[in-house]
Amino acid sequence: MEKITTFFLILSLLLSWLPGVAANRLNDRLDKAALDPAKGTVMPGAARFFRMSDGTQAVACSAAEGIRTRVSADGGETWQYDQIAVPNNGRILANYWFCEFDGALYLAYRAIGDTPDGFYTSLRVHISEDSGKSWRFHSIITENLEPEHNFNGVWEPCLGGMNGKLVCLYANDSTALTDRQNIESLTWNGSEWTDRTVVSDGQKHDSRDGMPVWTALSDGGYFCVIESTKYRDAGYPFVIQLLFSADGVHWSEPKDVYIPAEKNSKAAAPGVCELPDGRLAITFQTDEDKEEKGDAGSVSKLICTVRKIPAPLLGRCSFTSPKKLFPAEYDGCSLWGAGGYFDGAFYYGAYTPLGEALIRIPL
């Protein structure tokens, strides 16, 4: 009976969605995008953007001294409290990520480096309790030491509120754990990071699942995007996959949402956010248009659903054709970006050939 009920539930969802399928395909043919990067404004000098609940805006970028932040209380007209929020202390710092939780602003990042004892990786958090005006160290989310100096460990923290708790999703290819790479989560219990959970099992999928970014949905549930090496033997080094969780605990199997248009090309470093009307925006970097493959030939791109689509039905056919996020002068080495919707606009920041840059696309 349970299987029959589930079948009719999925069937009803499908039937309710079918009228939109033709429109979706038509929109694809017309190359209609939910967001139009051509209307965007590029702001150099920052790779991450966040708007707090009190309206304060925060940006972050890399600096020789560490991670630099500054804040604006007037919608970006002026910026204040320019500071090194995270000193590097001899580590290589990257993958920084803002989130607001329980009245405080958090900045997660990775801190890595080789040591005499092995290759060290860690994911860490700083906290601001005055809307980004000052920062202090909060905690080490997780860390790993590879005695053989292997370039393995813990990577790419993505922090946010899930079920009323502060949760971090990250990638883990520690050699003591797996010979692939998992997507995992840890939860802050008020004094330590605990309750390690495997969100996506790379060993099971025969994939180096990496670079997770997740978002909470307005009507409940969570989406997470990852890069996957599932089709590497077919000529696609990385593709973009999507996972869904209704409760933040149990996650679906990864589903393909973007495979490069050309073989021997990658789609990697994804991002995801929900737009105000329930549409989904996914970003990634790809070298599919370039003769030179790899990071040097990669550009940042965007795909969107053209209408709100039930999670079980989302797949490759659900999205518009990809559009480049930055103008042509930013082509090549447009890498490791992240996007989000804030106060009437979509923001996307990345490393680019012209330095770190942020594009604002109004809706």
Residues 164 and 26 both lie in one domain: no
Residues 301 and 291 both lie in one domain: yes
Residues 16 and 128 both lie in one domain: no
Mean pLDDT, residues 148-172 taken together: 97
Residues 98 and 213 both lie in one domain: yes
pLDDT tens track for 306-351: 889 998 899 999 999 999 999 999 999 999 999 999 999 999 999 9
Q: Sheet containing 57-63: give its strands across.
A: 48-51, 57-63, 66-72, 80-87
What is the rounded distance in angstroms from the CA atom of residue 363 to the CA atom of residue 283?
Answer: 16
Give the contacts of 85 (CB within 8 A, at least 6 positions apart). Answer: 60, 66, 67, 68, 69, 107, 126, 128, 135
Query: How many structural domains are present in the chain?
Result: 2
What's 194's DSSP letter?
E
Phi-psi category of residue 309: left, alpha or beta, with phi > 0 → left and psi -120 to 50 → alpha? beta
Residues 314 and 278 both lie in one domain: yes
The H or E element that residue 319 is part of is none
Residues 210 and 326 both lie in one domain: yes
What is the rounded distance in angstroms from the CA atom of residue 173 to the CA atom of residue 142?
Answer: 13
Residues 3 and 149 both lie in one domain: no
Bridge pairing between strands 136-146 and 154-162: unpaired
Length of the chain: 363
Residues 236 and 349 both lie in one domain: yes
Residues 241 and 256 both lie in one domain: yes
Residues 15 and 149 both lie in one domain: no
What is the rounded distance in angstroms from the CA atom of residue 269 to the CA atom of residue 47?
Answer: 14
pLDDT tens track for 204-262: 999 999 999 999 999 999 999 999 999 999 999 999 999 999 999 999 999 999 999 99
Residues 1 and 101 both lie in one domain: no
CATH code for the domain in which residue 69 is found: 2.120.10.10
- Looking at residue 34, what is its pLDDT? 73
> Domain span at residue 3?
1-30
What is the rounded distance in angstroms from the CA atom of residue 212 to the CA atom of residue 271?
Answer: 8
DSSP per-residue string spanning 238-256: -EEEEEEESSSSS-PPPEE
What tokens were used for 117? 């004892």
Residues 124 and 13 both lie in one domain: no
Q: What is the pTM of this model?
A: 0.90
